[in-house]
Amino acid sequence: MIQLRKIGEKNFRDILNLCVRDDQKSFVAPNDISLIEAFIAISHHGKAFPFGIYDGDIPVGFCMIGFGADEDWVNAPAVAKDNYNLWRLMIDERYQGKGYGKAAMKRILEFIADKPCGPAAYCWLSYEPENEAAKALYASFGFQETGEWDGDEKIAVLKLEKTCTDIRYVEKADHDFWFTLDRHLSEDAFLYKVEQRMGYILRAESEPIALLRYSLFWDSIPFCNLLYVKETMQRQGYGRSLMEHWESDMKARGYDLVMTSTQTDEEAQHFYRALGYQDCGSLILPFPGYEQPAELIMAKQI
């Protein structure tokens, strides 16, 4: 279980000993510098929350969350005012590639959701343009680049004050909305999804904005056939919420493996990989009327 722990006398040396790979050192400041920056911010009436990232009792990384702009911050970005900032995030070189970054991000956003400094419209962060791994991780949580810069780093923001959302099984009354997004399902197949509870609707402020449907591969493995979010509501975390809800539902029904697919020329593959799905092969149909780029098959243990 990943946890964020306050840094104090008993563990600060463990955090100082954490380090990224040599080729990543230009992307993130050493942890001793981060702790000094936290001290300076707090001493100038700012807000800083440095945490060790722990897997059980093992320190695997470090993060620091800020709020607003302290009186000593020269040329602070406009978005810094009255908003949360993921100031620093690093995973030790020994523990990279194990999902700790994604797990830590969930805990960080949960911390911010508790509003330790009061409500805010955004959480923002910045990263070096060359840091593709960081960009992909943050984008998978809904952070979007604004075109602004903090020094030499690109700024990306996540809207925090989202509308109230809920996810439920699709109902017959959802027919008209469903077919505005899903043009591949027949009327009979839609009714089957309703009866078997094999489709979901995500609503924001009671307005449906996204859907997901699945079937059973080999009659035994849940297979997500379609995930779609209204274009104007994309890249705000709704797709992730639907996928995680579906996975939880499948696990509750006794399944331990789920699958999906996407064309190899589509960006969705990066979204699914960020959720933990692994490439399992591809499918090509060399028949008239079925030509398309290879279909990438992906799976995830739950």
Give catalytic residues, as residue numbers: 138
- DSSP tag of 291: -
Query: Long-range contacts made by residues 285-292, C-beta under 8 angstroms, separation at least 24?
Result: 292/263
What's the 3-state SS for 90-113? EECHHHCCCCHHHHHHHHHHHHHH
Query: Residue 61 and residue 34: Cα distance in Å, rounded?
Result: 13
Query: Residue 50 and residue 52: Cα distance in Å, rounded?
Result: 7
Query: Residue 117 and residue 85: Cα distance in Å, rounded?
Result: 12
Neighbours of 279 (CB within 10 A): 13
Adjacency order of strands within the sheet including 199-204: 165-169, 199-204, 207-217, 221-229, 257-263, 295-301, 278-283
277: tokens are 């799905």
